[in-house]
Amino acid sequence: MAPVTDAALVLVGQGRYADPWHDVAATSHALAALLADVGLPVDVRGTRPDALGGLDAPGLLVVVAGDGRRDAEFDGDDDAWRGFHDRRADWVAEGVPVLAVHQSAMAFRDDPRWAREVGGRWVEDRSWHPPLGPAVLRVAGDPHPVTAGLGPLAVVDERYADLEVDPGVRPLVLADVTADEASDRPVSAGAHPVVWVAPGPGRVLYDALGHDVRSFESPDHRALLTAAIGWLLAL
């Protein structure tokens, strides 16, 4: 197993893993501040083919990336990114804990291992969300250390729905979508998992919340993330 540092590595989407809908500079800054608040050193890096070269495995891998500009002349073709993905996948296989946030369900489409690692993905022409706005989310019924003691979560955010979710994940937080919200789409109303624990091999948590900084200003979301970080690091 590769040497492990105590630091959290925050991978921020740029180039092929950026998108026009999310201010990743602001949201990654908010996450880095929260990680520092719980006492973790933080290393923030943009996604580049050589971003992971020479790094020891982090104590926690945090991904804030999406699906953006695919341009081989700009930041390389799929072959140029293979080393990046192989190193990331090796870390996950070795048990490095992972926190993947919001649009990260759309990230790394050129490496199918990522969707398996995080337990799901956004599917074009199927996945969607009601308009951004205030929402109250439900904690799933089965007790888990991340949600122990948490009640409903009040946030200003997007409620991702109809993601492709691995049947082996453990849902922690559910978003309710009404028939009226889904009326113009061939999608399902009802409860959709928006925070879950992936099957593994290590500790991996996907949090579909975090569209913009308002989500990270929510005391309920901050409490959830603080508990998630503690669980991921087995604190």
Alpha-helical (H) ranges within 119-233 are: 213-217, 219-232
- What's the CA gap between 79 and 90, in Å, rounded? 17
Sign of CA dihedral 38, 43, 44, 49: negative
* Closest to 215 (Cα-Cα) out of 2, 30, 7: 30
21-56 residue pLDDT tens: 999 999 999 999 999 999 999 999 999 999 999 899
Mean pLDDT, rounded, of the chain = 92
pLDDT at 177: 85
Residue with tokens 């969607």: 128
Residue 25's φ and ψ, nearest 5 degrees, are: -60, -45
The pTM of the whole model exceeds 0.85: yes
Higher per-residue pLDDT: 235 or 90: 90
Tell me whether residue 167 is exposed, middle or buried, using C-beta atoms within 10 angstroms of its C-beta: 0 to 12, 13 to 18, 19 or more: exposed
CATH architecture for segment(s) 8-232? 3-Layer(aba) Sandwich (3.40)
Tell me whether residue 64 is exposed, middle or buried, using C-beta atoms within 10 angstroms of its C-beta: 0 to 12, 13 to 18, 19 or more: buried
Q: What percent of the chain has pLDDT over 70?
A: 94
